[in-house]
């Protein structure tokens, strides 16, 4: 069959591929420890579910304006005032099916053939594939584990050419969990503002920050270049609402209008019931967020400690999101397991642990471990991983760890 050429430029999301295989095994009765999932293991808060029930019972089940009801757009706008000290109007907001559609709308509205769009690696593959779907060219700036995957403004600025249309920053970052510093963000914003380049900030994990790191990207961007800033986020990770599909883009009124055109011709409004749930999440009690944050922090600290007890798992402790991103080149060898793709496959088959290989994040030699699962399952997962590594060692495929 022949498909449009754009289909040859994109790939199946590797995160979804692992999830599908783990799911297949689980359904066949295998006790899989799933460290691949990119979503919270917590339930959606009760008051959010209650709002959805109420919406259903009140027959709030019809089309809404394609940008979302005013009450939701207002709730999103109001949400940002205490968080970042910025005033946003509903006309600057469109409600989208998760942050993914917010980013997709932005790509469709802003990018075209001949444009270059700068982003950083290791990256969440959707960001790069959406650039390609919009016929533009991704320009990738590498970040390094040696400095905690910090995004360096100068490296981004050095990648700017006359063709640069936008810079996409993802912070906290999936898969590394790294945050961009405010100083680096300001330097990028100054450079972008001076050249008329858009900055798109994917802050989907904005409420999942564990250390006291200043992270007011929104204000930094608004103060410098509000007319070319797009903020993309969602209730997905913060409120354990991945399946509801409630996200948003915030940007200049004219830009939001264009997003509305794209959305009006593709998906229209997000689910009406979800909109009521989103309003409840954003305007209702917020204590559940702190509870989840605390739990994630404890898990991060525990798993990081367990994993790095073996020096073959070289891993920075990230400040945000819910992923660890260890470097495990010492587990790979030409005669044994060659890539982390093969490693993930072998771990799933042999010890039923699902991880996500680094290749899909443009990071060979790494894998992503999600700690959005219970501490007991995490312990079990790490134990199984270590048993797997011990077996590799015994088979002579890798040397013994130096100082275990
Ligand atoms: C960096 C990043 N941005 C956006 C998204 C999309 O989030 P949503 O489920 O709200 O579409 C994800 C989901 O994993 C993500 O990791």
Which range is least confidently modeled, 269-273, 389-393, 395-399?
A: 395-399
In the prediction, which pLDDT does 404 show?
45
Q: How far is the CA of 247 from the centre of ligand 1 (A)?
A: 9
Q: How far is the CA of 99 from the centre of ligand 1 (A)?
A: 6
pTM of the full predicted structure?
Answer: 0.96
* Pocket mutation for ligand 1, best pick of 237, 244, 356 (most atoms within 8 Å of C-beta): 237
In the prediction, which pLDDT does 403 show?
47
- Cα angle 315, 325, 207 (rounded to 5 degrees) comes to 110
- The tokens describing 275, both together, are 């909109």
Which is nearest to 118 in space by CA: 94, 93, 154, 145? Answer: 154
In the prediction, which pLDDT does 38 show?
84
Q: Give the separation between CA 276 and CA 272, rounded to whole angstroms.
A: 7
Q: Give the separation between CA 333 and CA 350, rounded to whole angstroms.
A: 18
Q: Are 376 and 295 in contact (CB under 8 A)?
A: no
Q: What is the DSSP letter of 142?
A: E
Going by alpha carbons, the residue nearest to atom 10 of ligand 1 is 98
Q: Is the pLDDT of residue 14 over 70?
A: no
- The tokens describing 221, both together, are 């961007």
Q: How far is the CA of 107 from the centre of ligand 1 (A)?
A: 15
Average pLDDT over residues 123-142: 97
Phi, psi of 168 (to 5 degrees): -110, 120
Q: Is 28 exposed, middle or buried (0-12, 13-18, 19+ CB in 10 A)?
A: exposed
Cβ neighbours for 58, distance < 8 A, ≥ 6 positions apart:
none
**What are 197-212's pLDDT values in tens digits?**
999 999 999 999 999 9
Q: Are 80 and 213 in contact (CB under 8 A)?
A: no
Phi, psi of 78 (to 5 degrees): -65, -30
**What are 41-89's pLDDT values in tens digits?**
999 999 999 999 999 999 999 999 999 999 999 999 999 999 999 999 9
Q: What is the DSSP letter of 399?
A: P
Q: Give the separation between CA 316 and CA 149, rounded to whole angstroms.
A: 9
Average pLDDT over residues 9-24: 79
Q: What are the beta bridge partners of residue 95?
A: 248
Q: Are 96 and 249 in contact (CB under 8 A)?
A: yes
Q: How far is the CA of 64 from the centre of ligand 1 (A)?
A: 24
Mean model confidence pLDDT for the chain:
95
- The tokens describing 365, both together, are 């030699």
Task: Give the residue carrying structure tokens 């989907």.
Answer: 204
> What DSSP string describes 137-188?
EEEEEE--GGGTTPPPHHHHHHT--TTEEEEEEESSPTTT-----HHHHHHH
Q: Is the pLDDT of residue 15 over 70?
A: no
In the prediction, which pLDDT does 169 show?
98
Which of the four pLDDT bands, split at 50, 70 and 90, describes residue 391?
Answer: very high
**What are 300-351's pLDDT values in tens digits?**
999 999 999 999 999 999 999 999 999 999 999 988 899 999 999 999 999 9
- The tokens describing 291, both together, are 């509870």
Spell out which residues line ligand 1, taking CB within 6 angstroms: 38, 98-100, 124, 170, 174, 202, 204, 234, 236, 242, 247
Q: How far is the CA of 273 from the centre of ligand 1 (A)?
A: 20
Q: How far is the CA of 126 from the centre of ligand 1 (A)?
A: 9
Give the ligand 1 atom nearest the CA of 103: 4
Q: How far is the CA of 106 from the centre of ligand 1 (A)?
A: 14
Q: What is the DSSP letter of 173?
A: P
**What are 82-127's pLDDT values in tens digits?**
999 999 999 999 999 999 999 999 999 999 999 999 999 999 999 9
Average pLDDT over residues 11-18: 71
Which is nearest to 293 in space by CA: 40, 8, 100, 83? Answer: 40
Q: Are 203 and 171 in contact (CB under 8 A)?
A: yes
Q: What is the DSSP letter of 172?
A: S
* Pocket mutation for ligand 1, best pick of 174, 177, 233, 362 (most atoms within 8 Å of C-beta): 174
Give the ligand 1 atom nearest the CA of 15: 14
- The tokens describing 224, both together, are 């410098």
Strand extents, DSSP E, 20-155: 33-34, 93-96, 116-121, 137-142
Q: What is the DSSP letter of 148?
A: T
In the prediction, which pLDDT does 402 show?
60
**What are 159-193's pLDDT values in tens digits?**
999 999 999 999 999 999 999 999 999 999 999 99
Average pLDDT over residues 238-246: 98
Going by alpha carbons, the residue nearest to atom 14 of ligand 1 is 38
For the chain, the residue count is: 404
């Amino acid at each position: 069959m022949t498909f449009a050429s754009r289909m040859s430029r994109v790939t199946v999301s590797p995160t979804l591929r692992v999830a599908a295989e783990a799911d297949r095994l689980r359904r066949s009765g295998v006790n899989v420890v799933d460290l691949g999932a990119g979503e919270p293991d917590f339930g959606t808060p009760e008051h959010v579910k209650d709002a959805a029930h109420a919406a259903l019972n009140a027959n709030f089940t019809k089309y809404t304006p394609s940008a979302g009801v005013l009450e939701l757009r207002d709730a999103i706008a109001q949400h940002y005032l205490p968080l970042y000290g910025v005033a946003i109007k509903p006309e600057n907001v469109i409600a989208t099916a998760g942050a993914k559609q917010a980013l997709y709308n932005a790509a469709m509205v802003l990018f075209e053939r001949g444009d270059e769009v700068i982003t950083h690696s290791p990256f969440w593959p959707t960001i790069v594939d959406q650039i390609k779907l919009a016929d533009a060219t991704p320009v990738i700036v590498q970040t390094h584990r040696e400095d905690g995957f910090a995004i360096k403004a100068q490296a981004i600025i050095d990648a700017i050419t006359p063709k640069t249309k936008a810079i996409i920053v993802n912070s906290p970052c999936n898969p590394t969990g790294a945050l961009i510093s405010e100083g680096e963000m300001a330097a990028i914003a100054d450079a972008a503002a001076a050249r008329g380049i858009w900055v798109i900030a994917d802050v989907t994990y904005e409420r999942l920050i564990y250390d006291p790191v200043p992270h007011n990207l929104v204000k930094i961007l608004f103060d410098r270049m509000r007319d070319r800033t797009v903020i993309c986020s969602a209730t997905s990770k913060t409120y354990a609402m991945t399946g509801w599909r409630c996200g948003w883009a915030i940007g200049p009124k004219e830009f939001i209008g264009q997003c509305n055109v794209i959305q009006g011709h593709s998906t229209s409004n997000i689910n009406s019931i979800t909109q009521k749930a989103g309003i409840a999440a954003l305007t209702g009690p917020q204590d559940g967020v702190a509870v989840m944050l605390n739990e994630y922090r404890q898990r991060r600290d525990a798993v990081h400690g367990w994993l790095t007890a073996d020096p073959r798992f070289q891993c920075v402790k990230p400040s945000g999101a819910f992923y660890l991103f260890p470097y495990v080149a010492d587990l790979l060898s030409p005669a044994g397991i060659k890539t982390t793709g093969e490693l993930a496959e072998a771990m799933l088959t042999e010890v039923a642990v699902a991880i996500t290989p680094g290749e899909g994040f443009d990071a060979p030699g790494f894998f992503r471990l999600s700690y959005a699962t219970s501490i007991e399952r995490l312990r079990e997962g790490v134990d199984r991983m270590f048993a797997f590594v011990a077996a590799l060692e015994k088979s002579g495929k890798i040397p013994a760890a130096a100082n275990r």
